[in-house]
Amino acid sequence: MNEQLLNRVLRQAEALCARRGARLTPQRRRVLELVCRAERPIGAYELLDQVRDGGKAAPPTVYRALDFLLEQGLIHKLETLHAFIGCTHPDHPHSSQFLICADCGKVTELEDAALLGSLHSAAAESGFSPQRPVIEVIGTCARCAHKPDRPAD
Amino acid sequence: MNEQLLNRVLRQAEALCARRGARLTPQRRRVLELVCRAERPIGAYELLDQVRDGGKAAPPTVYRALDFLLEQGLIHKLETLHAFIGCTHPDHPHSSQFLICADCGKVTELEDAALLGSLHSAAAESGFSPQRPVIEVIGTCARCAHKPDRPAD
DNA sequence: ACCAGGAATGTAACGATATAACAGCCCCAA
DNA sequence: TTGGGGCTGTTATATCGTTACATTCCTGGT
């Protein structure tokens, strides 16, 4: 996430939390910023290292911040990677799909209405009420597919 | 999984492995049976307890068996639960979707062509090649939706 | 039948992810 | 001013999964 987008996201986050009466404390803001700055999904303990930065902090510090940010829809958790990414459009609540490149590790966030529609139809046939769809696709991104197959490591 | 289905699955598993030159050893068969007998997704350490059954066994024993069974498509892993379920139709390779009831814990395995189609279309638009789609939907199953909301625990 | 070699298993230790439980602090509202 | 709720600090522990290496077992070639 580039600097410009990051700033927009942080401002949106502040506005959203203010509107909802949720407290985006410095700690939480810090974690959000770290997640967003990471080019790839980042794990909780990796975040912890960065939050510590010489000082001291324990896992609950990071996990509590992450829980808050997840609740507010400011970040997403990738279940298949046990890692987190910043949401680039937190302005409306949404259920996303993720394309995860097994080669370069980059993740693309989709919000595909047709896909969600299919999912709800399929669930409805079983009388099932979806609450939290988890859709993560491991594969190869366009960039990596075009690369000549591991260019001389 | 009832006794009859279990027997069919075990026979299919033997046939499949024989055809593929894969060895369904007693240990692996045991784990497969335990996974299939469980009414709900079962965790690796829960399996370990059952495999031990008084004797001794260590995590790698179970994880190795699980890896084998996953490779052979005889069981599935539920990423959101860190748990495993038996596949009821291992005869053909397939990518499934799972409906996970947050109330009773039961899981329904789907194989919905339309849903997979939507997913591939959505991925294609980004030039992404799907290799392993993970689709797990947390929600409420039909049975639990009809229950009068926590019947006197 | 023998033996070489790969596949499967046993065993101990460890790494990674996540939560529990309780204590202290800060700020606002009554 | 005081009390209570929300946030944070701290220690310990639960849960999930892997590494590394020794041993055993099975199988195929001779």
B75 and B126 co-located in one domain? no
List the nucleotides on chain D closer than 7 A to a protein CB.
6-12, 15-20
Query: Is residue A139, in this structure, part of any structural domain at all?
Result: yes
Predicted pLDDT at A153: 41
Contacts of residue B81 in chain A, CB cutoff 8 Å?
A: none
For residues B126-135, average pLDDT: 97
Percent of chain A with pLDDT over 70: 96
Q: Are residues B73 and B135 in the same domain?
A: no
Same domain, B63 and B107: no
CA–CA min distance B22, chain A (Å): 26
Q: How far is the CA of B78 from the C1' of D26 (A)?
A: 33
Q: Is residue A21 part of a domain?
A: yes
- Looking at the structure, tell me whether residues A32 and A73 fall in a common domain: yes
Q: How many angstroms away from the CA of B27 is the closest CA of chain A?
A: 27
Region of poorest pLDDT, from A78-87, B59-68, B75-84, B86-95: B86-95
pLDDT of residue A44: 98
- Assess if residue B151 is contained within a domain: no
The predicted pLDDT at position A152 comes to: 43
The alpha-carbon gap from B112 to the nearest alpha carbon of chain A, in Å, equals 7
Percent of chain A residues topping a pLDDT of 90: 84
**B113 CB near a chain A CB, below 8 Å?**
no
Tokens 């996970």 identify what position?
B100
Which of B:66-105 have CB within 8 Å of A? 79-80, 97, 99, 101-102
- Over B108-140, what HEC string results? EEECCHHHHHHHHHHHHHCCCEEEEEEEEEEEE
Cα separation, A45 vs A58, in Å, equals: 9
Dihedral pair phi/psi, residue B66, rounded to 5°: -60, -40
Instruction: Measure the CA angle with vertex A71, ends A65 and A77; round to 5°.
Output: 75
Kindly list the residues from chain A whose CB atom is less than 8 angstroms away from the CB atom of residue B122: 97, 110, 112, 114-115
Q: Are residues B76 and B107 in the same domain?
A: no
User: Binding residue per annotation — B17?
Assistant: no
The protein residues having a beta carbon less than 7 Å from any atom of strand C are A 43-46, 58-60, 63, 82; B 22-23, 25-28, 56-61, 64-65, 68
Return the ∠ at Cα A27 (arms to B80 and A32), rounded to 5°: 50
* CB pair distance less than 8 Å for A133 and B130: no
Which protein residue's Cα is closest to nucleotide C20 at C1'?
A60
Residue A81 tokens, joined = 């990677």
CA distance linking residue A92 with residue A43, whole number of Å? 25
Which backbone phi and psi does B90 adopt, to 5 degrees?
Answer: -80, 0
The answer to whether residue A54 scores a pLDDT higher than 80 is: no
Say if residue B39 is in the same domain as residue B64. Answer: yes
The total number of structural domains in chain B stands at: 2
Mean pLDDT of A111-140: 97
Residue B110 located in a structural domain: yes
Neighbours of A110 (CB within 10 A): 18
**Is pLDDT above 50 for B151?**
no
- Residue with the larger pLDDT of the pair B91 and B141: B141
What is the domain range of residue B19?
A: 3-86
The pair phi, psi for residue B84, each rounded to 5°, is -125, 150
CA distance B81 to A87: 23
A129 in contact with chain B, both atoms CB, cutoff 8 A: yes
On whether residue B92 sits in a domain, the answer given is no
Clarify whether residues A106 and A134 are in a common domain: yes
Within a domain: A153: no
Residue A141 annotated as part of some ligand binding site: yes
**Residue B52 CA, distance from chain mean position:** 21
Residue B77 — φ and ψ, nearest 5°?
-105, 135
CATH code, B122: 3.30.1490.190
pLDDT digits (tens, 9 = 90+) for B73-112: 999 999 999 999 999 888 887 889 999 999 999 999 999 9
Residues A77 and A125 in one domain: no
Smallest Cα distance from B80 to chain A, Å: 6
Q: Is residue A34 part of a domain?
A: yes
Q: Is the pLDDT of residue A149 over 80?
A: no
Chain B residues in contact with A105 (beta carbon < 8 A): none
Measured between alpha carbons, how far is A33 from A31 in angstroms, rounded to an integer? 5
Pairing of strands B97-101, B83-86: unpaired
> At residue B40, what is the residue type?
R
pLDDT at B148: 66
Instruction: Provide the pLDDT for residue B153.
Output: 38
| CB of B132 closer than 8 Å to CB of B123 | no
The answer to whether residue A151 is domain-embedded is no
Q: How far apart are CA B87 and CA B75, in angstroms?
A: 5
Mean pLDDT, residues A64-70 taken together: 98
Going through chain B in order, the beta strands assigned E by DSSP cover 75-78, 83-86, 97-101, 107-110, 129-140
Last residue of a domain, one of A53, A86, A119: A86
Nucleotides of C under 7 A from a protein CB: 7-14, 16-21
Assess whether B81 and B114 both reside in one domain.
no
* Residue B81 shares a structural domain with residue B30: yes
Answer yes or no: do B30 and B75 share one domain: yes
d(CA B117, CA B112): 9
Question: Is the same domain home to A101 and A77?
Answer: no
The domain spanning residue A82 has which CATH number?
Answer: 1.10.10.10
